[in-house]
Amino acid sequence: MAQSTEEAGYPLADLKVLDFSRVLAGPFAGRMLSDLGADVVKVEPPDGDITRLWGKVIGGIPGYYNQQNAGKRNICIDMRAEGARELVFELVKKADILIENFRPDVMPRLGLGYTSLKAVNPRLIMLSISGFGQGGPESHRPAYAPIVHAEVGLMDRQSRRGDIPFRDLPLSVADTNASLHGLVGLLSAVIHREKTGLGQQIDIAMIDATIATDDQLHFDLEDSEHSGPLPNFAWETGAGPILVSADVRYLWHLLTTQLGVEDPTDKEMEFDKKIRLRREKITEFMAAFASLEEIETTMAKMNVAWGRVRNASTLQEQATVKARGAITQVDDRAGGTRPITQSPYRFSNAKSGVRGPTSHRGEHNHEVLREWIDKPLFEIDAMIEAGVLQFDAEMLPAE
């Protein structure tokens, strides 16, 4: 996807990014940079990103990989091949940013550690995301999001508060938190480079990012969970389950003082029985709702926030999601389109958004090398012949 005058409205249109990352923490950062206009080139190994195995396959591209890599161009380099490191150095000379999320020892073993890359391009900004950070006592440990969820207490808290067995969260919070904090670091480093002329390495540990973003952590650190608000409850209604975001004590007060619900308890009643009877009364009240319109009117009268407990498969029907285009369509590489998450950034004087389909492995070997480093066609073909560059022959014709 070559840069053009059409990219002028995107705030990051002048940035060149090499994305060596895989799975989620790195690729998500690269996807957001692409949505903001950067020319993001995913550098994929011959065996591919593991997420090419996950999700519905359309046009040879699985859903998980599609969501995190749309809009990026793709080159496939076998780093074990002779000449591969030198090719990467040529690309690094032209790059603004490099993203990787291997264990801290991997890039140095490939000869691509920050010290080596900085010698090639002192302006390079390198985002390194790992589970436990660079140079620490656990830097050697492999980590995916569930490992961090366990280590920082999220699984334990979910178990305690939900009275359920230990199990992982239904989304990869540790990965996306690290990725978003990585984006903040990257853009800060870009601004800093404008002042100093120098790049730098940004060390983002998933464990740090998750802790920093945990708004409930202080309750655990200070043994003060009893001082927090009561949990929000979901209630069954005739129009489906809803969640009401209000302390149940306050909700009860509103129901009895504003909507005429009768209190079935008296002052002499045992506390546990009083709670049970009031909860039963709220359950009965909620079950009587026949429509979402009726719920909306009643909750608005009490000035209480509420939401449908929705299956995500229906998300495209949600009014705000539909109005804002939070789910959009992208080329499915098979003659049609498929749903994908849209960029969340809405600017008053700039553009953002997914800028193209997801690439097959090695699809842009020729295009990127000719654009970025003016590599002659015969040299690119020679590298393909030597196995330095590879491509998905099943999906793409030989270049």
DSSP characters over 163-227: T------SS-HHHHHHHHHHHHHHHHHHHHHHHHS--EEEEEEHHHHHHHT-TTHHHHHTT-GGG
CA distances from 383 to 77, 111, 192, 347, 390 (A): 10, 19, 37, 42, 9
Alpha-carbon gap, residue 111 to 108, rounded angstroms: 5
57 bridge partner residues: 62
Report residue 199 as tokens: 């790049």
Q: Positive or negative CA dihedral for 187, 189, 194, 199?
A: negative
Among residues 39, 175, 214, 392, which one is catalytic? Answer: 175
Closest among 203, 51, 188, 181 to 129, alpha carbons compared: 203
Report residue 256 as tokens: 């009895």
Taking CB atoms within 8 Å and a gap of at least 24, the contacts of 228-234 are 231/161, 234/309
- Identity of the amino acid at 373: I
Q: At what angle do helices 377-386 and 365-373 cross, to 10 degrees?
A: 130
156 catalytic? Reply is no
Q: At what angle do helices 248-258 and 292-302 cross, to 10 degrees?
A: 90
State CA 94 to chain mean position distance: 27
Backbone angles phi, psi at 179, to 5 degrees: -65, -45
Report residue 338 as tokens: 């498929």
Alpha-carbon gap, residue 132 to 139, rounded angstroms: 5
- For residues 85 and 110, the answer to whether their CB atoms sit within 8 Å is yes
Residue where the block lists tokens 């853009």: 187
Alpha-carbon gap, residue 238 to 260, rounded angstroms: 20
Closest among 157, 103, 96 to 133, alpha carbons compared: 103
Task: Tell me which residues are annotated as active site.
Answer: 175
